[in-house]
Amino acid sequence: MALLAACNGQGDPAAQTNSAPAASAPTPPSAPAVPVGGPKRLVLAFGDSLYAGYGLARGQSLPDALQTRLRAAGIDATFINAGVSGDTTAGGRRRLAYTLDRLERRPDLVLLGLGGNDVLRQVPPAETRANLEAMLAELDRRRIPVVMTGMLAPPNLGPDFAGRFNAIFPDLARQHDAPLDPFILQGVIGNRALMLPDGVHPNPQGVERIADRLAPLVARRLAALPRDDQ
C-alpha cells in the first residue's frame, strides 16, 4: 500500500503546511525571471499531495516545476497550485466550483490529479468514477480544457478492484478529449534517490523527473488553444 500513501497527507503537519486550504483562493507560485512570449496562460493544478508539494519547501512543488519548464520554453504560463494533501475525488468534487469561482478569471487549462486517496481508502471505483466524471462535466460546462494525471491501484487489492479502478482514467480521458499521463509516479516510485525518506512522496529530484515527463504534454495542450482564448 506504499504506493497509495503517496497522496495521503491527512494529519501530517508537513502535508498541512504544503497544501492549499479549500476555503481560500490558491496563490500562484513565484514566476522565474526568464523571457516568455505569446499569450498569457493561466493553469489551475487541482489535485492532492502530489500537486500540493508534500514535505517540500516552497517553490519545489510539481506546479512550480512545470511553470519553470514552460516559461523556459517561452510559454507565458502561470500555475495556481490548488493541491490539497489527503484530498479524495469526493473532496475535489465539493471544492472545484468554489475554487474556480474564486479565481480572477477562467483558467486556460486545468491539470486534474485526484484518485490516489480513494484507493488508499478503498472507495468503490464506481464512486471514484462518478466524482471524476462530475468534475470533468463541470469543466466542460465552463469550456475549460483539461490534462489528467492518473493513478494505478496496487495488485494486492485484487484484480477486480484494480481492473475497475485502472480503467477509470483512460475511459474518462477519452470521453472528455483530455490528454492523460497514465501514472503520475511512473519512473519515480520505488527509486530511493527520487523519494522522500517516507518512501512514498517524491523529493525535489523526483518532482523534477515527473515534470520532465508532464511538461511537454501540458505545452502541447496549451499550444492547441486559440491564441486569443482568455
| CB 145 within 8 Å of CB 220 | no
For residue 47, the cross-strand partners are: 83, 113
| CB 22 within 8 Å of CB 99 | yes
The β-bridge relationship of strands 146-149 and 109-113 is parallel
Shortest CA distance to 113 belongs to which of 85, 141, 143, 71? 85
Q: Listing from the earlier edge strand, what are the strands of the sheet with 75-83?
A: 75-83, 37-47, 109-113, 146-149, 180-181
- Residues contacting residue 196 through CB under 8 Å, at least 6 positions apart: 54, 55, 202, 203
Active site residue 49: yes
Active site residue 198: yes
- In whole angstroms, give the CA distance from residue 85 to residue 48: 5
Which of 19, 49, 61, 85 is catalytic? The answer is: 49
Shortest CA distance to 213 belongs to which of 229, 200, 202, 198? 202
Q: H or E segment at 159?
A: helix 159-166
C-alpha cell at 213: 515527463
DSSP at 202 = B
**Which residues are tagged catalytic?**
49, 198, 201
